[in-house]
Amino acid sequence: MKILITGCSWVQRMHKQNYPKDIDIDLKSFGGQGLWRIKKHLKIVNTDIYDYIFIQLPTPIRNDEISISTTDKFNQFIKDIKEMGEDVASEKWLDEYRKKIVEINEMHDNVVFFLYNVGGYPLRHPYDFGKNIDKEMIYFLEESNLNHIYLSFEGKPGYGLNEDKCDDEEFWEYYHINNPNNQSDKDFKKYWSIISPRNWISIDPHPNEKANKLALDMICNYITGGQDDKKDS
């Protein structure tokens, strides 16, 4: 059994895990990039060698195959919000994202999309598409007959790469209202979102080794028949 796991930086540390001996795993991550870049990669590699291709879903904000700057793409998104309104802009970017998912699915017989949520990413961080957006995305995948798995640690401490305990409710609120602190533009701060667990601050929400172990176990269980396609931690 040979599989490809690809995505953004959310899977780049997965190589530290102990791979099962009976599954040959190739791992390819594209930090700061999205589905457009992943599709470009799949066009130039021989995908026939893989029994399964797992696509960890990046943020819809990264909607081209060139840019590696989430900040630049977020500013483009804000520009669209100002020009057409937030509801129209967010639905436009989501619709492009869903279309790209369908296009990628057509590139191999066994594509499995992996919605892997830590700190709200990819659908509530860096922009919050809505508190029910994970459910809505799963519904889209189901209705489109697309293979998928789902693992969410949203709101749960202990799974992000860098988290600080924060029992000061006032500071916790202040931090999230003013995040990110390296940006001075008020619109950037207004639309930027990160979903920290209550009483914790997510400094770096990338998955830690504990999260990645569970993620890799889920992937391996999927291909060995140990679970169905819809899971939540």
Delineate the domains of the chain, giving CATH numbers in brackets: 2-160+206-223 (3.40.50.1110)
Q: Is 70 exceeded by the pLDDT of residue 233? A: no
> How much is the average pLDDT of 112-116?
98
For 127-143, give the secondary structure using H, E and C.
Answer: ECCCCCHHHHHHHHHHH
Q: Chain-wide mean pLDDT for the chain?
A: 94
- pTM, two decimal places: 0.94
Contact 9, 31 (CB under 8 A): yes
- pLDDT computed for residue 232 by the predictor: 45
Q: What confidence score (pLDDT) does residue 226 get?
A: 53
Band (61; pLDDT cuts 50, 70, 90): very high
Question: Span 47-62, mean pLDDT?
Answer: 98
- Per-residue buried b or exposed e for 157-172, using 16+ beta carbons within 10 Å of the residue's own CB: eebbbebeeeeeeeeb
